[in-house]
Structure 1
Amino acid sequence: MCALLRTGALAAGLACVPVAPVCAADDAGRSYAEARRRADLEHSEAQRECARMAPELKADCLARGKAHHEVRMAAARERFPDVAPPPLDPETAARFERELTDCDRVPGNERAGCRLDVKRRYRH
């Protein structure tokens, strides 16, 4: 990987979260669905890495991972404007985040299904 998602983890002696660089060439020749799938996969990997960090570093790591995902999604929407859904308006985006947060309270194996359901409803 040619870029790392850097947090204060490096100073603390913990591993950085590896992520792919945000380059236009990364998604060259790919479809919007592939670009979105790749961004989602990178975000999931970053979340797994962040989960292993100390609590004082985890929030920053998750925020950076989310920001990176948003940048990748914006790049995909820009590259494939004819097929990409428009970004959510602020009110809908807030509702989406709230529903995802509500899923975090769902116990056990049902949590993943809840999150997937919310994402499918808002992402088309």
Structure 2
Amino acid sequence: MSSYHDTYRASLDGPEHFWQQAAAAIDWYRTPTRILDRSHPPFYRWFPNGELNTCYNALDRHIEAGHAERTALVHDSPVTSTRPPTPTRDCATKQPASPASSPTAVLSKAIG
């Protein structure tokens, strides 16, 4: 395992290669073939032709990998400075019963 300094240096020395390797560690609906679009500076676009689901990568894929018993999401409101009781704050699930009840679907409904 590399140190923070080594990882940081690699990201500066070869950002496209660095982020291409990082992108390989997540699931994509459509794997990007371009890593960085520099065609309209200063408005650069990372992975312009890739498509993914952030909620799936944050939650569902870990359930599928056998980590359903571990806490997956912790809700802590900076607006109200409240932390709901553990059952609603710490979300873990055995498995998504159906696509409509998966953590991804629930979060998608919650945020619109």
Q: Same fold (TM over 0.5)?
A: no
Q: Decide which structure has greater helix share.
A: 1
The structure that has the greater radius of gyration is: 2
Structure with higher RCO (Cα < 8 A, 6+ apart): 1
